[in-house]
DNA sequence: AACGAGGATTTGT
DNA sequence: ACAAATCCTCGTT
């Protein structure tokens, strides 16, 4: 386990990312990675960002999170071109680096948590902790990140209690580092959720938006399908809203706003540098007779519809 | 010029 | 075997 701590919103287009990792020896944990892997609507993930403990390197400032109830489609899109950040080759480089960093960071975090669990003899899921487990985790975290001792603050608290507490609760109980503890707990929660999601499959449905997760490429060994890939992009509007977005999420109607860009992303994912929209759209059309994607009732250019919306 | 439909063939796993 | 990739012709916007 390293000496990492910290959070930063929106890794997109943060040039220093790769350099930072190299120069500083992988110091920062970019929580936005988790966010990008899941839907942006996961309410309990939303607050993870706020604490930025111990950032060793220059990192982008946390972006205020949108309020609940706002349309996800309207959430801010960070776009390299819009920020004047090198279109063309460099932009693509960054984009690819970003994806590499994402998977790398997530892998590292999961590994570290696993190590900690073995060492402390606790489960990865904070919800299952008894009060003893909680104390172990607290001591471990405090020691690892050189936090002031919270002492007996959380005596007799179970993991479930802890998980139910807001960041504000943490801050009140431990003014010195409550926010940091809360952030770290959130990481564990994220990891546990992710693990469960990957192993369980489809046995539970916790509400409308969960189904697409089955199709997430991050934990199915099989090669990703095009329709899955498109869904992935659609569920990360803050990353890809500029090139593909929902017109009607409920009906599964979406529009490809930048066909060339989407094709490039697809080509990169499949390691097909010669991919273009001509070929991508041909693959989409193959879905017609398979009943996966169709043209909407009122056919519009670059607009398609999932036959089975989530 | 860019998109759309769909046939034919090849490719990668 | 299968989904995609590739290549193609022809029609539409």
pLDDT confidence of A306, banded at 50, 70, 90?
Answer: very high
Query: Which positions of strand C lie within 7 Å of protein CB atoms?
Result: 3-8, 13
Q: Angle at which helices A277-290 and A259-269 pack, to 10 degrees? A: 80
- Alpha-carbon distance of A105 to A99, in angstroms, equals 10
Provide the pLDDT for residue A132. Answer: 92
Query: pLDDT tens digits, residue range A82-108?
Result: 444 444 556 656 665 665 666 667 677
Show the 3-state SS of A121-159: CCCCCHHHCCHHHHHHHHHHHHHHCCCCCCCCCCCCCCH
Query: pLDDT tens digits, residue range A205-263?
Result: 233 333 333 334 555 578 899 999 999 999 998 889 999 999 999 999 999 999 999 99
Provide the pLDDT for residue A199. Answer: 43
Query: pLDDT tens digits, residue range A2-57?
Result: 443 333 333 333 333 333 333 333 333 333 334 434 333 333 333 333 333 433 33
Provide the pLDDT for residue A152. Answer: 80
Closest CA to A200 of A187, A219, A186, A185: A219
Give the CA A1 to C1' B3 distance in Å: 52
Give the nucleotide nearest to A270 (CA→C1').
Answer: C4
Is the distance between the Cβ of A270 and the closest atom of strand C smaller than 7 Å? yes
In this prediction, residues A288-310 reach a mean pLDDT of 96
Give the CA A261 to C1' C5 distance in Å: 18
Residue nearest to nucleotide C6 (CA to C1'): A279
Is the distance between the Cβ of A285 and the closest atom of strand B smaller than 7 Å? yes
Mean pLDDT of chain A: 71
């Amino acid at each position: 386990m390293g000496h990492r701590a910290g959070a930063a919103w929106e890794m997109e287009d943060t040039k220093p990312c790769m350099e930072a990792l190299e120069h500083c020896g992988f110091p920062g944990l970019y929580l936005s990675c988790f966010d990008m892997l899941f839907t942006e609507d996961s309410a309990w993930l939303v607050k993870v960002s706020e604490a930025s403990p111990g950032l060793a390197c220059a990192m982008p400032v946390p972006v205020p999170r949108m309020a609940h109830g706002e349309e996800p489609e309207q959430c801010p899109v960070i776009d390299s071109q819009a920020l004047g950040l090198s279109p063309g080759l460099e932009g693509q480089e960054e984009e690819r680096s970003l994806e590499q960093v994402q998977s790398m960071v997530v892998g590292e975090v999961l590994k570290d948590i696993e190590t900690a669990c073995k060492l402390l003899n606790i489960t990865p899921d904070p919800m299952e902790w008894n009060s003893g487990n909680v104390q172990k985790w607290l001591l471990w975290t405090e020691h690892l990140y050189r936090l002031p001792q919270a002492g007996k603050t959380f005596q007799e608290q179970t993991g479930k209690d802890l998980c139910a507490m807001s960041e504000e609760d943490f801050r009140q109980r431990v003014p010195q580092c409550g926010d940091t503890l809360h952030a770290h707990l959130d990481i564990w929660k994220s990891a546990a959720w992710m693990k469960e999601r990957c192993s369980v499959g489809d046995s539970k449905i916790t509400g409308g938006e969960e189904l697409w997760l089955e199709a997430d490429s991050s934990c199915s060994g099989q090669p990703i399908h095009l329709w899955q890939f498109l869904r992935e992009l659609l569920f990360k509007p803050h990353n890809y809203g500029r090139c593909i977005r929902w017109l009607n999420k409920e009906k599964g109607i979406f529009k490809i706003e930048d066909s060339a860009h989407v094709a490039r992303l697809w080509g990169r994912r499949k390691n097909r540098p010669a991919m273009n929209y001509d070929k991508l759209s041909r693959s989409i059309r193959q879905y017609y007779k398979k009943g996966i994607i169709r043209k909407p009732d009122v056919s519009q250019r670059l607009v398609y519809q999932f036959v089975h919306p989530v």
